[in-house]
């Protein structure tokens, strides 16, 4: 198109000139838009999927020789005729597939196209400089195209490098009515160094293109073979070999704001005879006759709502993404588990290091022929792509699940998830609000699974794991003391000196241990108290801005008292006889704003009590704060999720027996959803977030006071009937320390 020259009303020359593209732009675009060789392969296989192929065969030979090597990709799809080659395949950024997607127009096999940008064919430049394309539709002529990308790099413009397209009267490749597309790539780029590792990475990419979870995906199966180095494929463990080593299988469905279906099955290896199998179901499931049966589970119900921020308790909504299905397998790689259950330990770990993680698949739900097909959304679940932050959680909370322990798949219906847009470079979705909600929903589901997994793993470890016996450091100190007394018994001065040092070591260690327990307890309640401080400061700012200074004094006094009270938890304080009522009052003072914000009524039955106990005030106050915080969480669940109560209440009382003082704290919430034994174990929690340390630390602190943290039966204390279904905990202190 030549330049168009005009003049405006002022006599100025106005030139109209279109963009002109240099020929070298095409190979440059290929390099920029297709990041790696495996993505290039993936794009070509996506084209075969869109063409309704059942099989895609990839053959490579002499791949380490740039001049002699060849890559062949052939499918049995619908193929192309001359018109499609000229007006779609040779048209960059063609909207042909985009229009099909916009119309929701599936292929004859019910597939919606997954290649949307019309640039995938540029990826072949990543693999080689020369490409031969042979394609044929049923009952039409065979079409041949040859491209040498080096011609585009010589200079000139795109129109100066025409592509020769030949329509054959007599087919030379697709005979006897066959159809499909054949691509041969040669003259590899010198900068691409093919190695065994790179090939195996391509193999993993191709084999993971379809879901390992959906049997109905067998109608689209890409394969790859290397003709001159078949040993490069050796010892790559198949998924069928690996899944038998998993201990947990799960399947979840998410819709709107919550989990609507949950199936968790824990089955320890047969060698662990004492370990119990567990199956948890929530939602509607079909029986063997096709009838829907509803299952309930209180723990799942308590955690089914997808929360954006557990502290703010704000739910998110993914209703714009249809029903998301999430299923997978979880492994236990602890030494005592795989020692006698896995024959090829290295192979299992190697497979999981390359194939574990949570992948995302997009496709179609079963059609009238019960066929479904889901394909990978690259590159979620790839090594190094921790898109859910599981490994970071593992660092912060050592018992949480990490990427290398899970093989999971998220299945998205192609039609329902148009709001999730893929990036131009095909490396995942654009990270907008829709993506954030999608990611949060999957993270939430993993957290709910982890509630059950942690409990089951802990039970197995207790039965068959390494036995801790006595506390390890104290045990070592006692062994050292025994050895000294045995070996140095004839030298009394030396024996006395060594025992003195050993006693000093034990004393110092006990001091460190107690301080760490104190710090942990303080840390658990820090967030609660900071929340209270923030509330008061917020009110102060509001009053100063809007109401003048009349009410400031009381609030500042309250803030001062709160901060000083919390500071006591950090101070090294000796134990002394303290009125238990004052400890409870100070703890309630620390969470007063939080109780008001959550509209929790506190019944103070203890107010007439005058019971003194020898205790460390800061530590016991920290326990009470955490118990109240737990009650607030589960009361919220009881009212909003279970809808089992209309008013949230906490009951606190002090009872005195002949030998003990009991602090009783009860609520009318959900009650304990885990067993009594489980709730005091470290890193076990019924919440989807949190470390699971609160009750464990509380129990340790009570033991250090020669007391006990008790989870009693309802009838053990005088408690109003309305608290019968809730949680009850008592802190039992001895009247006299012996």
CATH code (residue 47) = 3.30.565.10
Residues 191 and 308 in one domain: no
Handedness of CA 699, 704, 705, 706 (dihedral sign): positive
Contacts of residue 664, Cβ cutoff 8 Å, sequence gap at least 6:
651, 652, 653, 654, 655, 717, 719, 728, 729, 730
Residues 321 and 185 in one domain: no
Residue 35: burial class (beta carbons within 10 Å; 0-12, 13-18, 19+): middle
pLDDT of residue 468: 44
Residues 281 and 155 in one domain: no
> Which of 233, 260, 280 represents a domain boundary (last residue)?
233
pLDDT of residue 725: 86
Nearest to 411 by CA among 383, 445, 386: 445
Range of the domain at 676: 472-734
Residues 194 and 316 in one domain: no
Residues 358 and 500 in one domain: no
With vertex at residue 327, the alpha carbon angle to CA 323 and CA 329, rounded to the nearest 5 degrees, is 170
As averages over each run of 10 residues, the pLDDT of the chain (738 residues) reads 78 84 77 74 84 90 92 94 90 66 63 59 80 94 92 84 91 92 91 82 71 57 87 75 89 93 95 92 90 91 75 71 92 83 74 81 69 73 83 63 89 86 76 91 91 88 64 59 71 74 66 56 51 57 56 59 55 74 89 87 90 85 87 88 89 91 93 73 66 75 86 86 91 80
- Note whether residue 174 is domain-resident: yes
Token pair listed for 148 = 């040498």
Q: How many CB atoms lie within 10 A of CB 637?
A: 23
> Which of 210, 233, 256 represents a domain boundary (last residue)?
233
pLDDT of residue 201: 77
Sheet holding 278-286, edge to edge: 292-295, 278-286, 258-266, 248-255, 324-330, 406-413, 357-364, 373-376
Pairing between β-strand 4-7 and β-strand 13-16 as defined by DSSP bridges: antiparallel
- Note whether residue 11 is domain-resident: no
Output helix, strand, coil percentages for the chain, rounded to the nearest 5: 40, 20, 40
Residues 689 and 540 in one domain: yes
pLDDT of residue 178: 93
Residues 179 and 274 in one domain: no
Residues 595 and 692 in one domain: yes
- Note whether residue 5 is domain-resident: no
Write the secondary structure of 21-49 as one string of H (helix), E (strand) and C (coil): CECCHHHHHHHHHCCCHHHHHHHHHHHHH
Residues 228 and 254 in one domain: no
Residue 85: burial class (beta carbons within 10 Å; 0-12, 13-18, 19+): buried
- Note whether residue 7 is domain-resident: no
Gap between the Cα atoms of 193 and 201, Å rounded:
13
| Exposure string over 250-267, b if 16+ CB within 10 A, otherwise e | bbbbbbbbbbebbbbebe
Q: How many CB atoms lie within 10 A of CB 668?
A: 26
Residues 262 and 127 in one domain: no
Residues 447 and 479 in one domain: no
- Note whether residue 16 is domain-resident: no
> Which of 447, 464, 481 represents a domain boundary (last residue)?
464
- Note whether residue 570 is domain-resident: yes
- Note whether residue 18 is domain-resident: no
Gap between the Cα atoms of 663 and 656, Å rounded:
9
Yes or no: say if 101 and 114 are a contact pair by the CB < 8 Å rule: no
Per the structure, the count of domains in the chain is 3
Contacts of residue 96, Cβ cutoff 8 Å, sequence gap at least 6:
88, 118
Residues 572 and 425 in one domain: no
């Amino acid at each position: 198109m030549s330049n168009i020259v005009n003049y405006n009303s002022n006599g100025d020359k106005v030139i109209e000139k279109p963009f002109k593209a240099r020929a070298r732009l095409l190979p440059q675009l290929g390099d920029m838009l297709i990041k790696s060789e495996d993505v290039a392969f993936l794009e070509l296989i996506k084209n075969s999927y869109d063409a309704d192929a059942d099989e895609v065969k990839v053959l490579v030979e002499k791949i380490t020789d740039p001049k002699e090597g060849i890559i062949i990709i052939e499918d049995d799809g619908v193929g192309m005729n001359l018109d499609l080659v000229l007006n779609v395949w040779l048209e960059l950024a063609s909207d042909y597939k985009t229009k099909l997607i916009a119309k929701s127009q599936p292929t004859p096999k019910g597939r919606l196209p997954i290649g949307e940008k019309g640039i995938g064919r540029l990826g072949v430049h990543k693999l080689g400089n020369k490409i031969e394309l042979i394609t044929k539709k049923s009952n039409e002529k065979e079409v041949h195209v040859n491209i040498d990308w080096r011609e585009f790099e010589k200079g000139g413009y795109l129109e100066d490098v025409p592509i020769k397209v030949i329509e054959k009267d007599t087919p030379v490749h697709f005979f006897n009515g066959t159809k499909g597309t054949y691509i041969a790539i040669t003259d590899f780029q010198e900068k691409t160094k093919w190695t065994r590792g790179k090939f195996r990475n391509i193999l993993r990419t191709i084999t993971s293109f379809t879901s390992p979870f959906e049997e109905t995906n067998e109608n689209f199966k890409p394969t790859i073979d290397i003709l001159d180095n078949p040993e490069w494929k050796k010892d790559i463990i198949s998924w069928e070999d690996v899944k038998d080593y998993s201990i947990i299988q799960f399947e979840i469905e998410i819709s709107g704001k919550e989990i609507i279906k949950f199936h968790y099955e824990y089955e320890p290896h047969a060698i662990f005879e004492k370990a119990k199998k567990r199956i948890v179901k929530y939602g509607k499931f079909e029986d063997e006759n096709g009838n829907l049966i509803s299952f309930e589970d209180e723990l799942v119900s308590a955690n089914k709502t997808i929360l954006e921020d557990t502290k703010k308790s704000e739910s998110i909504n993914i209703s714009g993404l249809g029903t998301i299905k999430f299923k997978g397998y979880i492994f236990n790689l602890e030494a005592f588990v795989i020692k006698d259950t896995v024959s090829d330990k290295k192979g299992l770990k190697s497979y999981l290091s390359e194939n574990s993680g949570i992948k995302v698949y997009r496709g179609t739900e079963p059609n009238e022929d019960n066929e479904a097909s889901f394909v990978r959304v690259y590159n979620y679940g790839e090594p190094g792509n921790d898109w859910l932050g599981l490994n970071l959680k593992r660092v912060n909370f050592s018992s949480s699940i990490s990427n290398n322990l899970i093989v999971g798949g998220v299945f998205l219906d192609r039609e329902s998830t148009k709001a999730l847009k893929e990036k131009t470079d095909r490396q995942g979705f654009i990270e907008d609000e829709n993506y954030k909600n999608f990611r949060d929903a999957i993270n939430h589901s993993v957290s709910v699974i982890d509630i059950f997994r942690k409990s089951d793993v802990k039970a197995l470890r207790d039965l068959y794991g390494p036995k801790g016996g006595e506390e390890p450091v104290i045990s070592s100190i006692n062994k050292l003391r025994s050895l000294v007394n045995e070996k140095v018994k004839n030298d009394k001065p030396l024996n006395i000196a060594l025992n003195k040092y050993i006693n000093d070591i034990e004393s110092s260690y006990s001091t460190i241990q107690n301080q760490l327990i104190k710090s942990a307890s303080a840390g658990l309640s820090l967030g609660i108290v900071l929340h209270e401080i923030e509330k008061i400061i917020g009110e102060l700012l509001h009053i100063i801005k809007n109401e003048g200074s009349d009410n400031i004094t009381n609030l500042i006094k309250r803030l001062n008292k709160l901060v000083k009270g919390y500071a006591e938890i950090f101070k090294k304080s000796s134990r002394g006889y303290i009125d238990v009522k004052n400890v409870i009052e100070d703890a309630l003072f620390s969470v007063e704003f939080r109780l008001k914000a959550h509209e929790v009524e506190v019944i103070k039955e203890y107010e007439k009590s005058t019971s003194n106990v020898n205790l460390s005030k800061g530590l016991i106050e920290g326990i009470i704060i955490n118990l109240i915080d737990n009650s607030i969480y589960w009361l919220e669940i009881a009212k909003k999720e279970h809808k089992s109560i209309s008013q949230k209440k906490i009951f606190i009382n002090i009872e005195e027996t002949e030998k003990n003082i009991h602090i009783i704290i009860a609520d009318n919430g959900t009650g304990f959803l885990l067993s009594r034994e489980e709730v005091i174990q470290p890193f076990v929690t019924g919440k989807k977030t949190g470390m699971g340390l609160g009750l464990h630390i509380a129990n340790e602190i009570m033991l250090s006071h020669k007391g006990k943290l008790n989870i009693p039966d309802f009838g053990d204390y005088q408690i109003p009937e309305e608290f019968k279904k809730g949680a009850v905990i008592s802190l039992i202190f001895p009247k006299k320390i012996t």
